[in-house]
Chains A and B, each alone.
Chain A
Amino acid sequence: MGIADARAMHPAIDVVEQDIAADRRLLEGLADWCDRYTPLVALEGTEGLFLDITGCAHLFGGERAMRDDMLTRLFHQGFAVCCGVASTPGAAWAASRHTRADPSPDCAQARAEPRADWKRAIVAPGREEALVAPLPLSALRLDLATRDGLESVGLRTVGAVLDTPRAPLARRFGKAVLLRLDQALGRVEESISPRLPVPPLSVERAFAEPLVQLEDIERLVLALGAALKQDLERRGEGARKLDLLLFRVDGVVRRISVGASRPLRNPLLMQRLFRERLATIGETIETGYGFDLIRLSAVQVARFDSMQMDLTGAAGDHGDDMALFADRVRARLGEGVLMRQAPAESHIPERAVTMAPVAAAMAKFSPATVLSAAAARKRDRPIRLFKPPEYVDVTAAEVPEGPPSHFRWRRAAYTVARAEGPERIAPEWWCEDDGQARDYFRVEDTTGRRYWLYREGFYGADGMQPRWYVHGMFA
């Protein structure tokens, strides 16, 4: 039906363009929210969610209570939701679609007494066949062409397909029909693909009265961390990455992550890391009507090596303080703020050093990458390096291949009093890089400032004027 036809039938109709991206965002927001029921939440197409509630239902007082809780909350958030609970994803899909398939008696009635409509939606184990048999083929997640084909030969319900011999069916309509059928009946295993990896450990607390103050959340981290610590101890592990999930009353979920460079178990340290994080992003958290569920998850865990305490109670290793310092800086200021330089295999000055975040560098610092002091002594290198090298204006060098006698840099003129060089550094021809050879000079101006200048290219080659750069400053 076109818009014109629709308008003719209902003049007051409101036409809104479809926004696929926004729909997707909404669905993902809902999926985040559904995290409160189970960690295994998967998106199903563009309009549905799969929740694997295996082992979760009893936490909410059984499947029925869980479903009622979920639907009530979603109803109050303003969503009209159809829900099916079954032992297989296929049957649950069919159950949920089926309840929506006949909304004709109508939305008004459904709204007035929603529970009547939901009654069918829980399928006991082993009752899948009884559920799907009377349903039309649309309950089978088949593509339209296959469905039309089946209907054209008179197979209009799932039950009719079930009664048909399997071999001819597969030959004529492909294996998909049988696969979907088996999946719905539980003859073939089907697993959903969750959006997020399941955290190995999580601890949560729900509130009758929502939390509004960030300080309370901070305090709560300590309590949750204490509970998490017991689990971590039992497993002999520590957390490398922690997520704090804040479920707001109106369905918005906020996730706050902190990383630890060493496995972490102490709730006080967890609290400190989250305090730093909250200090930076605290203003961006909208508390609204408050958070009614708060969960602390250890997203990444690693083996925790216990440390022998000495008699005064101090651990023998001093690296812990540094690790905590690095983690706190990372939590508060961001990932790439505190860096450590590591030598790299290159003779090009700017490539001879790479920067790595301290946390990562702490984990793997191999002695092979340690610069040898003896090797370093051979060459004079500046203590400050300009990245990128800055262009300097050199009118002419006294000797074509020699150092300049005057240069201008940053709008100031310099007179070279002494110079040493050149040190020629050729480009790395094995890289895809056709740079030119550089001749480096150490020069000292008349006030005693020492610079590292280089000339790129040669005088007289191809008629090109070589360019001069300042690359660093010496002490």
Chain B
Amino acid sequence: MAKPAMAREAFFALRQEIARIEGRLADRLEVPAGVHPAAALPSGMVTRRNGEAHQQDACIATGLEAFDGSLGGGVPKAALTELHGREGRNAGAVAGFALGLISLLLKGLSVIEPIVWISVAGFFREAGHPYAPGLLQRFGIAPQHLLVAETRKLEEALWLAEEAASLGRLAAIILELPGNPQRLDLTATRRLHRRAVISGRPVFLLRQLARPEPSAAPLRLVVSPAPAGLRKLLTGPLAGSIGPPGFTVDVSKSPTARNDVFLLEWNDDEHRFEYGQPASADHGAVVPATRGAEGAAAASGAVLALRRPLTSAPGHQLPGRQRPEDLRAG
């Protein structure tokens, strides 16, 4: 008689342990120990959605129901988030998406805290230095709130990111690294993630030209550029103009395990994300003109082992809309 009860007890203990490792609330009513007080509600109340404990204000909500739902509520505030760029020349889009999220985060803060952008020597030269006037114009991030660090070695960048993450006085930490360095393994990402969880500050790991590998980040988004929307005039959209920047966001790893692809646009007047319009009529197909042979940049990283036909052909990606169907079919 006692045996099933014991087994159930052990089962619940395991579930709680898993929840603790994953950094989310266990399925119970009080706020468990180890969760940052800032992440919980002042009253200690925990709301439940779909049978799962859900912390309000624990995520950077974009306000887009489907996108947030696919990520399990939004991009978590107290966690490591990986943003991947398949090609080096997507660095602008990947950084732009991260900065958009940070801009949303800063909007909710009463006192603006600085953000820090860390990279290793030579990378900014390759992908472009952060440029304050552009950041201010597009994302409303003032230059005095942006710290930029370029370290000589990867170890130093990781040290700096860890220190910044555990400081608790920085609104967000961006760590931008190229490729798949050995030192950036499960342990390193786990250290970053733990510090983010404890201090309640998001760490965005921007990885350019990296193949996805196991990491402690609960969320991995692959960001690619998408054609911008049109500028809106009083008389309507202005044909041929380059308006709000577009992003194709491929949710490659998330707590909900839904592999969705979204086309988002950054509205720099309102400072929020919106759903983008799929390729407009005057634009034609969104397929690169350079197909492989001449002039194409080398594929980003190695072809990966996941059975996803789309990712195996970088550079030939299809419009975002078509992807989920393909995935389900495959």
Residue in A closest to B167 when the chains form the complex, CB atoms: A325
- The contact of B130 among A329, A343, A384, A415, by CB within 8 Å, is A384
Residue in A closest to B226 when the chains form the complex, CB atoms: A448
- The contact of A449 among B89, B95, B127, by CB within 8 Å, is B89
Contact (Cβ within 8 A) B242 A442: yes
Residue in A closest to B140 when the chains form the complex, CB atoms: A373
Interface residues of A in 398-423 (CB under 8 A from B): 408, 410-415, 417-420
Residues of B within 8 A of A352 (CB): 133
Contact (Cβ within 8 A) A449 B93: yes
Q: How far is B131's CA from A475's CA once the two chains are assembled, in angstroms?
A: 11
Known A333-B160, A376-B133, A376-B137: A382·B146 in contact at CB below 8 Å: no
Q: How far is B246's CA from A475's CA once the two chains are assembled, in angstroms?
A: 8
Offer 15 A-B interface pairs, CB within 8 angstroms, sorted by A. Answer: A337-B150, A337-B151, A343-B143, A358-B147, A370-B142, A371-B136, A373-B140, A384-B92, A410-B297, A418-B242, A444-B242, A446-B286, A448-B286, A449-B89, A474-B138
Residues of B within 8 A of A361 (CB): 144
Interface residues of B in 60-119 (CB under 8 A from A): 89-93, 95-97, 99-100, 114, 116
Known A449-B92, A450-B242: A325·B169 in contact at CB below 8 Å: yes
B179: Cβ under 8 A from any A Cβ: no
**Sample of 10 more A-B contacts, CB < 8 Å, known A379-B133, A381-B131, A446-B286:** A332-B156, A333-B151, A341-B146, A384-B130, A384-B134, A385-B134, A418-B242, A447-B225, A448-B246, A472-B134
Q: How far is B150's CA from A442's CA once the two chains are assembled, in angstroms?
A: 28
Sort chain A's interface into a size bin. 35 or more
Contact (Cβ within 8 A) A472 B167: no
Contact (Cβ within 8 A) A321 B286: no
Residues of A within 8 A of B283 (CB): 417-418
- Chain A, 431-459, contact with B by CB distance < 8 Å: what is the 0/1 string? 00000000000101111111000000000
- The contact of A377 among B137, B149, B225, by CB within 8 Å, is B137
Contact (Cβ within 8 A) B99 A340: no
Known A382-B131, A475-B100: A337·B149 in contact at CB below 8 Å: yes
Contact (Cβ within 8 A) B129 A417: no
Residue in A closest to B317 when the chains form the complex, CB atoms: A447
B29: Cβ under 8 A from any A Cβ: no
Q: How far is B140's CA from A361's CA once the two chains are assembled, in angstroms?
A: 20
Q: How far is B288's CA from A415's CA once the two chains are assembled, in angstroms?
A: 8
Residue in A closest to B141 when the chains form the complex, CB atoms: A383
Residues of A within 8 A of B148 (CB): 338-341, 355
Chain A nearest CB: distance from B240 CB in Å? 6
- Chain A, 327-371, contact with B by CB distance < 8 Å: what is the 0/1 string? 011001100011111110000010011010010010001000011
Residues of B within 8 A of A342 (CB): 143-144
- Which 7 A-B residue pairs are closest in the complex by CB-CB distance? A475-B96, A384-B128, A473-B92, A413-B295, A381-B134, A385-B131, A448-B225
Contact (Cβ within 8 A) A475 B295: no
Chain A nearest CB: distance from B208 CB in Å? 12
Interface residues of B in 34-71 (CB under 8 A from A): none
B residues lining the A interface (CB < 8 Å): 89-93, 95-97, 99-100, 114, 116, 125, 127-140, 142-144, 146-152, 156, 159-160, 163-164, 167-169, 224-228, 240-242, 245-246, 248, 266, 283, 286-290, 294-297
A residues lining the B interface (CB < 8 Å): 318, 321-322, 325, 328-329, 332-333, 337-343, 349, 352-353, 355, 358, 361, 365, 370-371, 373, 376-377, 379-387, 408, 410-415, 417-420, 442, 444-450, 472-475
Contact (Cβ within 8 A) A448 B227: yes
Known A337-B151, A376-B133, A384-B129: A446·B287 in contact at CB below 8 Å: yes
Contact (Cβ within 8 A) B228 A322: no
**B132, B163, B228 interface centre (most CB from chain A within 10 Å):** B132
Residues of A within 8 A of B168 (CB): 321
Chain A nearest CB: distance from B196 CB in Å? 16
Contact (Cβ within 8 A) A353 B132: yes
Known A337-B151, A381-B134, A382-B134: A474·B167 in contact at CB below 8 Å: no
Chain A nearest CB: distance from B200 CB in Å? 15
Chain B nearest CB: distance from A224 CB in Å? 25
> Looking at chain A's contact residues, is the secondary structure mostly helix, strand, loop, or mixed?
mixed
Residues of A within 8 A of B95 (CB): 383-384, 475
- The contact of B91 among A343, A355, A371, A473, by CB within 8 Å, is A473
Residues of B within 8 A of A325 (CB): 163-164, 167, 169
Chain B nearest CB: distance from A409 CB in Å? 8
Q: How far is B144's CA from A321's CA once the two chains are assembled, in angstroms?
A: 17
Chain A nearest CB: distance from B127 CB in Å? 6
Q: How far is B97's CA from A444's CA once the two chains are assembled, in angstroms?
A: 17
Contact (Cβ within 8 A) B245 A450: yes
Residue in A closest to B148 when the chains form the complex, CB atoms: A339
Q: How far is B242's CA from A420's CA once the two chains are assembled, in angstroms?
A: 7
Contact (Cβ within 8 A) B167 A321: yes
Residue in B closest to A386 when the chains form the complex, CB atoms: B128
Residues of B within 8 A of A417 (CB): 227, 283
Chain B nearest CB: distance from A475 CB in Å? 3
Chain A nearest CB: distance from B93 CB in Å? 6
Residues of B within 8 A of A447 (CB): 224-225, 227, 286, 288
**B130, B131, B225, B245 interface centre (most CB from chain A within 10 Å):** B131
Q: How far is B147's CA from A365's CA once the two chains are assembled, in angstroms?
A: 14
**A341, A376, A411, A472 interface centre (most CB from chain B within 10 Å):** A341
Q: How far is B296's CA from A408's CA once the two chains are assembled, in angstroms?
A: 10
**A361, A412, A417, A447 interface centre (most CB from chain B within 10 Å):** A447
